[in-house]
Structure 1
Amino acid sequence: MVELLETEYRRVWDRFYDEFTFRPSTSSFKWPAIKEPIASVTWSLAVLDDDPECERLDRLVEQGLKSCMGPSGTLLALDWQHTSYRFAPLGVGGPGQLAWPLSPYPDGDYYIYLSEDFRMGSFGHPWEKSLCLFGQEFLDAASAEVEKLLGQPIRRSGRAVGTA
């Protein structure tokens, strides 16, 4: 795991702001804070009220990302306005390995896992208390189990569930 240096940190965040139309805000009038991709599902995190359930969510998202990345794949772990990292998901979280940086559960800041090509990842919104998973391959790997834990999604492809 390596910390993103300032130049790369700015480059990655600038690209994220641009590609996802990122609008950080505590105001519900400006949510969702990103333009959620076509292949995305967003859930409320309101049902998670204890640590074992948060840890289960962590494992589900981590397993889904690991299954999509392959042996040499790397991810970005972005913590809004804090240290961010690049890491190989197959090289963390196991016995004798470093823990995953961050958590998909946003604990006071936006927490983002992102593939290097920005095609898949997760976006945790701390004030909406939501988690968006995006990228069809990642959704295929993780969304069914995440839905069992979190219940029905609040949005699919950026559209509120139950609306046309």
Structure 2
Amino acid sequence: MSYSQNLVNQQLAWCSTLVEHFKAESAPWLKEALLQSLTWHLQVAYSAFLQELAESQRLACERSSSIVTVINAIPSGRGCPAEFEELKALEMNDSWLSSLLARATSPAAIAIDSGVNQPHNLIAVSGVGSWNLAEAQAVLLALRQLIERNRALGQEY
């Protein structure tokens, strides 16, 4: 198993662990922290999966969060695999993957409620980039299925 495959598997395992911790947690600020962490691990898993795909096609490209980078590494004259086109469509259209990639991961991109109407003893919770557990679980499931299907197709060759 390659390093990229191991990294994908590790990130997916951590995502599952974060989901379980979320279910057991009651504090809203801890739930928000778990969801932000889950988002980050899902994005890292997808990025590692892209690297796994690039390695399977023997493409030299930098690790990226977009399939476009992998597609651009395909030598001229060589066709683009159908699974790459599928990922590109998922990234570009309104889908679970575009929703994941649109989530803010940069600290500067996360808006925090200024707390003007909040008591000063509460921990601030971000309002932008948040999603609920059901959405995050749906993305995790879809990503797992995508990875498993692509790995199964790769073993057929």
Work out which of the two has the higher radius of gyration on C-alpha atoms and give 1 or 2. 2
Structure with the larger RCO, 1 or 2 (CA within 8 Å, 6+ apart) = 1
| Structure ranking higher in helix proportion | 2
| Structure ranking higher in strand proportion | 1
TM-score (norm 2): 0.31
